[in-house]
């Protein structure tokens, strides 16, 4: 089983839509969790950390479910500029403090 798994998509949604991504991880001892955004041929940029209590930043909400070993990202009121690949990152997934990236979920927001 892969350490960090994501649906590659693409998720093709109209502007204004709400879209959600999930990411599953295999190591129950994983310590910390993040969502990054990566535009085509650019570097990853931290979008938000993910906490057990859930956290929200504007239109973005992240949740962690330790029991089921997944994290989620919800984007409300999608903008054209949200089009990107969203990377799930788990620290400690391999048993040590090494960040493990998922392959990413592609989001395309169209007019």
Partner 1 sequence: EPEVTQTPSHQVTQMGQEVILRCVPISNHLYFYWYRQILGQKVEFLVSFYNNEISEKSEIFDDQFSVERPDGSNFTLKIRSTKLEDSAMYFCANGQNQETQYFGPGTRLLVL
Report residue 48 CA to chain centroid gap. 9
Q: Which is nearer to partner 1, 25 or 34 (CB)?
A: 34
Q: Give the other-Cβ count within 10 Å of 4's Cβ.
A: 23
Q: Supply the minimum distance, in Å, between the C-beta of residue 94 and partner 1.
A: 8
Contact residues for partner 1 (CB under 8 A)?
32, 34, 38, 41-46, 49, 87, 91, 96-104
Tell me if 31 sits within 8 A of 92, measured CB to CB: yes
Q: Supply the minimum distance, in Å, between the C-beta of residue 33 and partner 1.
A: 10
Q: Which is nearer to partner 1, 45 or 79 (CB)?
A: 45
Q: How many whole angstroms separate alpha carbon 36 and alpha carbon 72?
A: 12
Q: Which is nearer to partner 1, 8 or 16 (CB)?
A: 8
Q: What single DSSP character describes residue 94?
A: T
Q: Supply the minimum distance, in Å, between the C-beta of residue 46 and partner 1.
A: 6
How many angstroms separate the Cα of 67 from the Cα of each of 20, 26, 49, 70, 108?
A: 19, 11, 18, 8, 30
Q: Which is nearer to partner 1, 84 or 87 (CB)?
A: 87
Q: Supply the minimum distance, in Å, between the C-beta of residue 100 and partner 1.
A: 7
């Amino acid at each position: 089983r892969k350490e960090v798994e994501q649906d590659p998509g693409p998720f093709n949604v109209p502007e204004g839509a709400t879209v959600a991504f999930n990411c599953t991880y295999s190591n129950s001892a994983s310590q910390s969790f993040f969502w990054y955004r990566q535009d085509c041929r650019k570097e990853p940029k931290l979008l938000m950390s993910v906490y057990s209590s859930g956290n929200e930043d504007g239109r973005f909400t992240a949740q962690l479910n330790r029991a089921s070993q997944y994290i989620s990202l919800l984007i409300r009121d999608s903008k054209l500029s949200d089009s990107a690949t969203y990377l799930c990152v788990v620290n400690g997934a391999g048993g040590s403090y090494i960040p493990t990236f998922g392959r990413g979920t592609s989001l395309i927001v169209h007019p």
